[in-house]
Amino acid sequence: MSSIHAFFRVKPLLLLLVLISFLSNQMLGQDSLRYAEESHLRNIRQLTFGGDNAEAYWSYDGKSLVFQRTSLKDGIPCDQIFVGRVPENAASPFEFKLVSTGKGRTTCAFFTKDNQHIIYASTHLVSGECPPVPDRAKYGNKYIWPLYRGYDIFQADLNGKIVKQITNSPYYDAEATLSPDGKKMIYTSTKDGDIELYIMDLKSGKEKRITNELGYDGGAWFSPDGKKIIWRASRPKTEAAITEYKELLAQDLVAPTNMEVWVADVDGSNAKQVTNFGQANWAPTFMPDSKRIIFASNHEYKRGFPFNLYTINGDGSNLQKVSRDKGFDAFPMFSPDGKRIVFASNRNNGGTRDTNVFVADWVE
């Protein structure tokens, strides 16, 4: 009882400071994954723990996520596709299951409109083994992406049964997302000799190539209102840059170290460059209003790292930094109702190289 009596003998101002400190600590404990400057993010929750987890995207009903995962300790040597229900409360765990074949390498999954199927790209028809990764030492240790031939796009149900093969070419077909009405697919392919974007009508299979400039065009999305598209692109201009780009492409490789955000009308017309920051500006998506954009970038850092999330207006104005991690934050996607955001980050990884999936409430 003496300690309680002593507590209540504290002067009122000191008592107020103690109370403020207590409440602050409580708030930090509840949102300990959020950096103080991340004013747009609240109630960040880590969903995966360990391995390399990325490209997590919402179902149309906002209840589930599909993502790709590599985890050597779990016997997943290269990316496979998983689906899980988003926990409805803090006490519920995030449980996920494999929905790709477990063979080859997969990438870029997305839910279909019925929320009962997914599309994703996979190399499993070419080989059940993981395809070899590029030896970056041959290219001056430059960051290189492989454009694996044999990637085709498939549709599967949530039990992993493939119900349809959507593309069928000996080239790289991947990076697919769907329109808000679920009827059209935009994806990247090398089948015409460059890395270009195509839009396909899923019912008829008819498609149209919508980019035609030399350079990498990929990671495209439709705006929520279905009127525009957004993507990442490289545009080599100098003779040396063009030569390097073509030499890498001939080996089914690309160096995604200089990319900017582009937007266009949904048919590919009126294409314009939004960012002009240099380095890697990528993983762009429209925000819920179909006007503003959120994307990942390393443009503030000469050494090419960290990556953080930024928002910007469609005309390139009003750049704002969203995340403040000193590591990697990327692949943002808003929930259909615009209230939450999912992203990949290597925050809270205990000093490892693990990248995990996080969800947060979005605060304007």
Structure tokens at 159: 């039990």
Confidence (pTM): 0.91
Helices (H) then strands (E): counts for the chain: 3, 26
Segment 3-29 mean pLDDT: 37
Please answer whether residues 287 and 293 qualify as being in contact, where contact means their C-beta atoms are separated by less than 8 angstroms: yes
Helix residue ranges per DSSP H, the chain: 2-8, 12-30, 239-250
The three-state secondary structure class of 163 is strand
Segment 293-317 mean pLDDT: 96
Please report the sign of the dihedral spanned by the C-alpha atoms of residue 269, residue 274, residue 277, residue 281.
negative
> Which range, of 68-72, 153-157, 163-167, 302-306, averages the lowest pLDDT?
302-306
Report, in angstroms and rounded to the nearest whole number, the Rg of the chain calculated over CA atoms: 22
Distance CA(89)–CA(55), nearest Å, equals 23
Please answer whether residues 172 and 187 qualify as being in contact, where contact means their C-beta atoms are separated by less than 8 angstroms: no
Whether the per-residue pLDDT at 5 is higher than 70: the answer is: no
**Number of Cβ within a 10 Å radius of residue 357:** 25
Predicted local confidence at residue 30, as pLDDT:
60
Whether the per-residue pLDDT at 28 is higher than 50: the answer is: no
Q: Which of 150, 145, 120, 151 is nearest to 133 (CA)?
A: 145
Predicted local confidence at residue 100, as pLDDT:
98
User: 321-331 pLDDT, tens per residue?
Assistant: 999 989 999 99
C-alpha 39: how far from chain center:
21
User: pLDDT averaged over the chain?
Assistant: 92
User: 261-291 pLDDT, tens per residue?
Assistant: 999 999 999 999 999 999 999 999 999 999 9
Distance CA(364)–CA(112), nearest Å, equals 28
**Number of Cβ within a 10 Å radius of residue 285:** 23
Q: How confident is the model at residue 213 (pLDDT cuts 50, 70, 90)?
A: very high
C-alpha 152: how far from chain center:
19
Q: Which residue has the tokens 């290597």?
A: 346
Segment 92-120 mean pLDDT: 98
Distance CA(220)–CA(264), nearest Å, equals 11
Q: How confident is the model at residue 208 (pLDDT cuts 50, 70, 90)?
A: very high
User: 128-149 pLDDT, tens per residue?
Assistant: 999 999 999 999 888 999 999 9
